Amino acid sequence: MTEKVIKNAKEIRQLFLLDHKINFLNFGSFGACPSAVFDDYQKWQRLLEKEPVRFIVEYGPKFLEESKQALGQYIGAAASDLIFVPNPTYAINTLAKNILSPGDELLTTNLEYGAMDYTWQYHCDQVGATYVRQPITLPLTSKAQFIDEFWSGYSSKTRIVFISQITSSTGLIFPVAEICAEAKRRGLIIIVDGAHVPGHIPLNISTLQADFYTGACHKWMMAPKGCSFLYASKEFQDTLDPLVISWGFKTHSAHGSIFQDYHQYTGTRDFSAYLCIPATLQFREDHHWDILLEKCRASVLKKGAELSEFLGTLPLAPLESAFYGQLYAAEIQTSYPEELQRILFTNYAIEIPVMRQGDHCYIRFSFQPFNREVELDELIAALEEIRTTTDLWTKGNR
Ligand SMILES: Cc1ncc(COP(=O)(O)O)c(C=O)c1O
C-alpha cells in the first residue's frame, strides 16, 4: 500500500495559480482554482474549439452528464434532480421568478447575502408578496436561540423559507437541518442558499428535506468560475419556467425531463466549467483535502478568537465547529470598511474582505490548507499599525 503524503502549506500553495506575494485570506468571495483543475478546464475548452459543433451537440452533453453524476454523488442528490447553473445568483433568480404568489410571505433572516435580498425584494414587489427579514441577535448564544428567533418571524401568511446554510458576511453556519425539518412540519416551501457549502462542510441533500438547494462549485470545491448547481425536489421540478428561454422550452425529450430540458441549455455558451467536477474531486482525493481541512478548522477557531480579542469584540457565536467551518468574521468598528480593505491590500498585500451588513461591519478571513497561522498574525499586526496611524477604525467596547 502506498503511504499518504500530506503536503505542508507551502507545498499546497504551489498547487494553485494564486499570486505568491499576496497573503490570501479571501477564499470565500470567489474561491481559487488549483492548476490541475484549471488545466482540465482548458483541456475542455480546447476540445470545444477543435470541433465546436460536435462538442456542443454530441460529446459535451455526454461529459456534462458524467460530471453531474459525480457532483450528485458528492452532495447526496440524484443527477436528474440537479441542473448546472453559472452561479447561485442565477439559481435564486430562477426560483424567485417562479415561486411567489400575491399575498405570500417569504421568511428569511437579516443576515442573507445582499444580492439575494435584492433579488427576492424585486420579485416580491413585482407580485405583491412580502420579504420578511427576521432579525437574528448576534452574538448567537446557541442553535436554539437562532431557531426561536427565526420562527418568531412566522405568520399565517408565511409560505416560503429562504435561508443561507453558511452566511456571507458573518461566515457562520446556521442550523439549516433543524429549520428544514420544522419548515416541512409547517408545510412550507424551503429554499437553501448553500453558496459556501459544497467542499467546505459535509453536504448530503438527501437528508436535508429542502425543496430547493443551490451551491457554488467555484468556491470551496475549487471548480473554475461559473460552475454551480440548483437542486429541485421532484415535486417542484415541473413547476419552474426557465430564467432564459431556449430550445429546450419546446423541443422536449432530450432528457425525458422538463426540468433538464427547460433549464440546462440556455443558448450557446462555453460550459467547460461544468465539466470539471471529476477533476476537482480528483484533486481533493490526491491531496487528502478532507484531512487537511480538519487542521484548518482548528486554526479558524484559534486565530478567530485572537482576532476578536484584538478587536475588542465578542465572537459572533460560541467557538464550536457547529458554527464555524473555514470562515471567521469578527465585528470591526469602522465607518470606512471599503477603505480599510483597500489599505490592507495596497499597503500590506493582504486580501481580505471588510463588509457591511446592516449597521455592522465585519472583517472575514478564510483558512485553506495553503494558509499558515502566522498569516493571521500578520493581519493583526497590520490592523494594529493602521489603528495607530489612521482614524479608520477604533477599538470597540465589550
Ligand atoms: C451566501 C451567498 N449566497 C449567494 C452568493 C452569490 O454567489 P454568486 O455571486 O456566485 O452567484 C454568495 C456569494 O458570495 C453568498 O455568499
Q: Looking at residue 394, what is its pLDDT?
A: 60
Q: Which domain holds residue 355?
A: 9-30+288-389
Instruction: Indicate whether 137 and 276 sit together in one domain.
Output: yes
Atom 10 in ligand 1: residue holding the nearest Cα: 87
For ligand 1, whether the C-beta of 164 sits within 6 Å is yes
For residues 312 and 238, membership in a common domain is answered with no
DSSP 117-152: HHHHHHHHHHHT-EEEEE---SS---HHHHHHHHHT
19 and 117 in a single domain? The answer is: no
For residue 149, the domain's CATH number is 3.40.640.10
- Pairing type for strands 130-134 and 105-109 reads parallel
Q: What is the pLDDT of residue 398?
A: 32
Give the residue from 236, 260, 281 where a domain finishes: 281
CA triple 128-166-40, angle to 5 deg: 105
Nearest CA to ligand 1 atom 12: 195
Please say which residue of 246, 281, 316 terminates a domain: 281
Domain count, the chain: 2
Atom 7 of ligand 1, nearest CA residue = 88
Domain termination residue (choose one: 248, 281, 314): 281
Pocket flag, ligand 1, residue 87 (CB < 6 Å): yes
197 and 79 within one domain: yes
Q: Is residue 123 part of a domain?
A: yes
Do 365 and 338 have their domain in common? yes
Task: Say what the pLDDT of residue 256 is.
Answer: 78
Is ligand 1 within 6 A of the CB of residue 89? yes
Answer yes or no: is 398 within a domain.
Answer: no
Residue 396: its pLDDT value, please?
45
pLDDT single digits (tens) 229-258: 999 999 999 999 999 999 989 876 666 799
Q: Are residues 17 and 66 in the same domain?
A: no
Residues of the chain with pLDDT under 50: 395-398
Same domain, 128 and 186: yes
Whether residue 315 is contained in a domain is answered as yes
Grid coordinates representing 282 are 480528483
Q: Is 193 in the pocket of ligand 1 (CB under 6 A)?
A: yes
